[in-house]
């Protein structure tokens, strides 16, 4: 098997078709409702979003990766936790996309089996638990995996902000650079959390995200 460093480069590459660029994680709704309008307000949105993610869905990833709980059980817990229908749907869509890309890239039999189980409805197929299992199969270290997971969320939302014309691409790169230490801090804390610690830390963003389907025009799925 190729080395972990190379695998992380591949997973972090925007060309890896994991489906994240079709989603804005609530940004499109926040933008249309006037909560995000420039680089400064986008920075506040990203900080809240990453904190919410590290406390809300990352514990499911950690639990599966570390083997604390079986994937099927954690997938059920994640499905129950994501009561926001937009976030729940986005998680399942991204989970399926990630599995399809991972199956093609790494040719591991269990990944193909997982995709079949999702297809027949045996698993809901939520993104974070599936990422936990696939990265475990790839023997990727947990702390680095969590940092990568949060980085890709940061990257994808900034990409959405550029396409929504909230900021330009150069300002987007500046934000990615500025958030490096913050993402690593959140990752270091997140690996210590269990599924018993999951929580929503930004109710406002949760409410805004639920309104995505009511937007008059939409570029993204969430």
Instruction: State pTM to two decimals.
Output: 0.95
Confidence of residue 18 (pLDDT cuts 50, 70, 90): confident
Residue in this structure with the two tokens 């098997």, named with its chain if needed:
1
Q: Enter the tokens of residue 17.
A: 């078709």
Q: Enter the tokens of residue 140.
A: 């990727």
What is the predicted pLDDT for the residue at 2?
63
Residue in this structure with the two tokens 């940092």, named with its chain if needed:
147
Alpha-helical (H) ranges within 108-191 are 109-119, 127-137, 142-163, 169-178, 180-190
Q: Within 10 Å of residue 52's Cβ, how many Cβ atoms?
A: 20
Domain that holds residue 133: 21-214
CATH code for the domain in which residue 83 is found = 1.10.4190.10
Does residue 75 have a pLDDT over 60?
A: yes
Does residue 1 have a pLDDT over 60?
A: no
Mean pLDDT over 78-90 rounds to 94
Does residue 49 have a pLDDT over 90?
A: yes
Q: How many domains would you assign to the chain? A: 1
177 within a domain of the structure (yes/no): yes
Q: In angstroms, rounded to a whole number, what is the distance separating the alpha carbons of residues 98 and 94?
A: 6
Q: Is 63 helix (H, G, I), strand (E, B) or coil?
A: helix
134 within a domain of the structure (yes/no): yes
């Amino acid at each position: 098997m190729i080395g972990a460093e190379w695998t992380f480069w591949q997973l972090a590459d925007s060309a890896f078709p994991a489906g994240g660029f079709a989603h804005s994680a609530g940004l499109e709704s926040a933008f249309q409702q006037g909560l995000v309008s420039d680089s400064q307000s986008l920075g506040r949105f990203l900080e809240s979003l990453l904190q919410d993610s590290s406390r809300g869905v990352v514990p499911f990833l950690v639990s599966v990766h570390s083997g604390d709980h079986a994937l099927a059980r954690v997938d059920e817990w994640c499905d129950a936790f994501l009561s926001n229908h937009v976030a729940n749907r986005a998680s399942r869509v991204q989970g399926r996309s990630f599995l399809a890309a991972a199956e093609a890239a790494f040719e591991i039999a269990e990944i193909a089996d997982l995709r079949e189980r999702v297809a027949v409805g045996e698993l809901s197929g939520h993104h974070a638990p599936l990422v936990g299992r696939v990265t475990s199969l790839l023997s990727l270290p947990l702390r680095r995996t969590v940092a990568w997971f949060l980085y890709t969320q940061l990257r994808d939302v900034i990409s959405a902000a550029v396409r929504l014309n909230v900021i330009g691409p150069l300002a987007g790169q500046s934000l990615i650079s500025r958030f490096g230490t913050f993402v690593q801090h959140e990752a270091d804390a997140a690996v210590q959390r269990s599924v018993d610690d999951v929580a929503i830390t930004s109710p406002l963003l949760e409410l805004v995200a639920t309104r995505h389907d009511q937007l008059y025009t939409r570029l993204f799925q969430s």
